[in-house]
Structure 1
Amino acid sequence: MDYFPVFLDLKKRRCLLVGGGEVATRKGRMLAKAGAVLRVVAPEISSELRELIASSGGELFAREYQTSDLQSCVLVIAATDIESVNEKISADAQALNLPVNVVDTPALCTYITPAIIDRSPLVIAVSSGGEAPVLARLVRAKLETLIPASYGKLAQIASLWRDRVKARFSDGDSRRKFWEKILQGPAAELMMNGQETAANNFIASELAADQAELTRGEVYLVGGGPGDPELLTLRALRLMQQADVVLYDRLVSDGVMELVRRDAERIYVGKRRSEHAMQQENINQLLVDLAKQGKRVLRLKGGDPFIFGRGGEEIELLAQNHIPFQVVPGITAASGCAAYAGIPLTHRDYAQSVRFVTGHLKSDDTNLQWPELANPTQTLVFYMGLVGLKEICESLITHGRAASTPVALIEKGTTQEQRVLISDLNSIADVVAQNDVHAPTLFIVGDVVKLHNTLKWFKAGN
């Protein structure tokens, strides 16, 4: 981090602004909005800047800059187009330990001004460290569309109730949980819709609720997708940011884990073939135990929790113990990996249906309904099929699927390390053996694989 982000209280404090043109006017506008008293020095000054000086109770010096202009100021901005003047202002300010910003000249600055999203009293600043101000403004523009103007009202209502909430809850963790519930629930919706009285009534009722009800835990069963963090749903991201503890699988990518709340406790419960960090029964019980402790528990899974993710087994025990839970679907590996490999799972010229199949069963074999799977008009997608790949191919051929049927094995799909091996049923096992392939993989069987070379350059994420 090249700069330490900080917000300054400039109300009724004198700030020096050197320059009187369009850029200086923009800076003066922001200073005045923050309540600063403007001292402006420049031979020529725009009419708007003159009005800002007057409204702030400031002063105007229609002349060249002098070192004495720094006296009694707490902040300095140089917005002239004369390099030597800017250099002198920077040197003079730094000699007095005054924070100074020289517009568009990071080398002369001791602080920089960020792009701002203003939802006062909520203010969000975005900075590129002076390296790419246009990029910072583009990020600001994106945030402007995501953060409603009414968020300022939420900040105001939080301020009104702050002392009463602090008195109600003795510890910071309980207060945080309460505010997250308020700011993401009905009270927030009411406030943003202009129903301020109803919002305040709701908060009052929540404060009066039984302590056990307020601190009750919950489980979030969230699909983390096949690897690319940009494939997460908005709801998944929101719950990932508010969980107290996360139980995660080995198939959850590092990029997805980076988006989990920073201070959440993390428990690895991943499984490999014949190697389990924690047995499934113990995972199920741990979800119940943590929720009963009042924690918000994130069960984060690769792909979708209900497609070969054993999510159904986990929520069965939660339901039996009356633990509230939410299930958030994720993009399953079949659709995500196929899309990134340029392979449509269905196509009216090649496949009229698609079947998702697990290549690894409880009995540790691949005893599947092979006659049904051998139908050439469908696409087959095998999860967890790397170890049993040779048996899968031989069984399909034995039951009528052509040995020349195109196949694709996708390794680490949707990630930067994605690799796609194309072959046919007869040869894919040998190709895999020659290429040192490692899980996670996805195995696609069917004529749709023929489209890989045509569509791969147009795939999502390319």
Structure 2
Amino acid sequence: MPVSVPLFPLFADLKDRRVLVVGGGPVAERKTEALLHAGARPRVGAPDLTPRLRAWHGEGRIDWIPGHFDAHWLAGAWLVVAATDDTAVNRAVATAAEARHVFANVVDDGELSSFHVPAIVERGPLQIAISSGGGAPMLARHLRRQLETLLDDSWASLANLFTRQRQRIRQRFPQPGERRRFFEALLAGPLPRLFRQQLHAQAEQHFQAMLDERAAATHAGSVAVVGAGPGDAGLLTLNALRAMNEADVILHDRLVSEDVLRLGRRDATYIEVGKSATGHSTRQDDIHALMLEHARKGKRVVRLKGGDPFVFGRGGEELEFLRAHGIPYEVVPGITAAVACAAYAGIPLTHRDHAQAVRLVTAHCKDSFDTLDWHALAQERQTLAVYMGVAGLEGLRDRLVAHGRAPSTPFALVENGSRRDQRVVTGTLADLPEIARSHQVRSPALLILGEVAALAGTLHWFGAPPVDAAVPTQSRNLPAPTLQAA
């Protein structure tokens, strides 16, 4: 199995189910012991057995098939483990299992295995399985050892309590969102500490009090307006992660990366509410209506925005709407595109020798150009971070030059900033639209204009080196492209 193909994680219920183990040595013994622990009925096939396997056979805990592997051994088996030191035998087991649609694990041979046995951290009914897909088992074992030191026995007590009380909890809180909030409150309170101190009676009393208290309470919905940053999931704040993992509904922009979305609650409802200059867009009024609808149903709503919600993100408009309708809200700032894209392109937005000011600018359409102070924007020794991406670059260039900005001013277009496919294209203001067109720069892209942009070539550290663009002569008179705004 190629390492690049992810395995589907699965916890199998093997209680009273037959599992075939081929091999009678120490490795087969360890695998059989794990199967017995899971309640399986192991059938061990081998010419001979270790003393311990023989003892288990004598006690009636396992069946033994003396002899050499035969495909008929697989009859009635749910799984098979090949644990011999003979490569040919292990391959024969895997082939026979594949033909009979039986999952096979060949010890220390990931390519022959159709299932892998993970490294396990076990605390009572709580199990954490760690797998490298068979490619790096020692790494999985190393991580298991680290987790063993981090998770004390109180986790077993918590798991046992929740298992015993599962039906009562479901009766008190029939809705999944209510149950989740109950567990969050329990785990954030003194319950784990009481179990760590071996105060089990007090822990049980606290649980009962919380069950009664939370059942009597009503839960109002709320909205968290959260900044998702420019795309690299590592740039999310801890508060953003918390909000995403507590959310019932996540209303997200189109440009929020898949890496970021994967960090949210898997069973949350995800609704794309993106805007586009050229394609389908969700109207702001519709976004307001969705926030209101779900919050009034008692849901925790996350309005997830690329970058920062208060920097060209309409976060202020959404808070005004929520306040007018009496919906509780909070704001989680995100790293805005100008800061992140510049950093990942190796461009300091300010520099003692080149720029003492930064201006964040957006102009999504031609008419909005007339509202900008072009005289101020054309001043030297400042950096412009333009959020309109690659739309309207010809008009931007012409107005800046007309108001005194030098045509030789360096720029950098940062496409997909902070993401795996980041691309940086550099040049000078005079050729800005032609360079963007010839290199087919697409949204999401941020334009950084100013003397600091020239540092991209020497300070770059992330992704491919910047492209120092040369403009093909034939492209200079082409009309500027109309592209999706960042």
Q: What TM-score range do you get, normalising by the shorter chain?
A: 0.7 to 0.9
Query: Relative to structure 1, is the Cα distance of residues 58 and 69 closer, same or farther in structure 2, using a 3 angstrom cutoff?
Result: farther
Aligned pair count reads 453
- Please state whether the residue corresponding to 1:236 is helix, strand or coil: helix
Q: Aligned Cα RMSD in Å?
A: 4.5
Deviates more, 1:338-347 or 1:254-263: 254-263
Partner of 2:13: 8
Partner of 2:427: 423
Partner of 1:81: 85
Q: Are the equivalent residues in 1 in contact too, given 2:18–2:43 (CA < 8 A)?
A: no
Partner of 2:23: 18
Query: Relative to structure 1, is the Cα distance of residues 70 and 373 closer, same or farther in structure 2, using a 3 angstrom cutoff?
Result: closer
Q: In the alignment, does 2:333 pair up with 1:329?
A: yes
Q: Deviations over 1:65-87 (max 9, x none)?
A: 68799999986544221235546
Structure 2 matches for 1:408-447, cutoff 5 A? 408-447=412-451
Q: Are the equivalent residues in 1 in contact too, given 2:191–2:206 (CA < 8 A)?
A: no
Give the deviation of 1:233 after TM superposition: 3.7
Q: Deviations over 1:406-441 (max 9, x none)?
A: 111223323344332212222213322444433322
- Please state whether the residue corresponding to 2:430 is helix, strand or coil: coil
Q: Are the equivalent residues in 1 in contact too, given 2:416–2:423 (CA < 8 A)?
A: yes
Q: Distance in 2 between matches of 1:214 and 1:444?
A: 49
Q: Distance in 1 between matches of 2:325 and 2:116?
A: 54
- Identify unmatched segments of 5+ residues in structure 2: 1-5, 466-486
TM-score (norm 1): 0.78
Q: Distance in 2 between matches of 1:407 and 1:380?
A: 9
Query: Relative to structure 1, is the Cα distance of residues 177 and 362 closer, same or farther in structure 2, using a 3 angstrom cutoff?
Result: farther
Q: Distance in 1 between matches of 2:449 and 2:23?
A: 69
Query: Relative to structure 1, is the Cα distance of residues 42 and 242 closer, same or farther in structure 2, using a 3 angstrom cutoff?
Result: farther
Q: Distance in 2 between matches of 1:304 and 1:78?
A: 53
Give the deviation of 1:303 after TM superposition: 1.0
Q: Deviations over 1:305-346 (max 9, x none)?
A: 122111122123323433233322222211222233232323
Query: Relative to structure 1, is the Cα distance of residues 82 and 361 closer, same or farther in structure 2, using a 3 angstrom cutoff?
Result: closer
Structure 2 matches for 1:331-370, cutoff 5 A? 331-360=335-364, 364-370=368-374
Partner of 1:187: 187
Q: Distance in 2 between matches of 1:340 and 1:145?
A: 36
Q: Deviations over 1:113-138 (max 9, x none)?
A: 223343431223344554x2438727
Give the deviation of 1:444 after TM superposition: 0.5
Partner of 1:157: 161
Q: Distance in 1 between matches of 2:275 and 2:337?
A: 17
Structure 2 matches for 1:35-434, cutoff 5 A? 45=50, 77-86=81-90, 101-105=105-109, 111-127=115-131, 130=134, 132-134=135-137, 137=140, 144=147, 148-149=151-152, 150-169=154-173, 171=174, 174=175, 176-194=176-194, 200-201=204-205, 203-209=207-213, 213-273=217-277, 277-360=281-364, 364-384=368-388, 386-434=390-438
Correspondence for 2:456 among 435, 452, 457:
452
TM-score (norm 2): 0.74
Q: Distance in 1 between matches of 2:247 and 2:104?
A: 41
Query: Relative to structure 1, is the Cα distance of residues 365 and 98 closer, same or farther in structure 2, using a 3 angstrom cutoff?
Result: closer
Deviates more, 1:251-260 or 1:34-43: 34-43
- Identify unmatched segments of 5+ residues in structure 1: none
Q: Are the equivalent residues in 2 in contact too, given 1:100–1:111 (CA < 8 A)?
A: yes
Q: Distance in 1 between matches of 2:340 and 2:421?
A: 14
Q: Distance in 1 between matches of 2:262 and 2:122?
A: 27
Give the deviation of 1:292 after TM superposition: 0.6
Percent same amino acid at aligned positions?
40
Q: Are the equivalent residues in 2 in contact too, given 1:182–1:188 (CA < 8 A)?
A: no
- Please state whether the residue corresponding to 1:444 is helix, strand or coil: strand
Q: Are the equivalent residues in 2 in contact too, given 1:235–1:328 (CA < 8 A)?
A: yes
Q: Distance in 2 between matches of 1:261 and 1:53?
A: 44
Give the deviation of 1:371 after TM superposition: 4.6
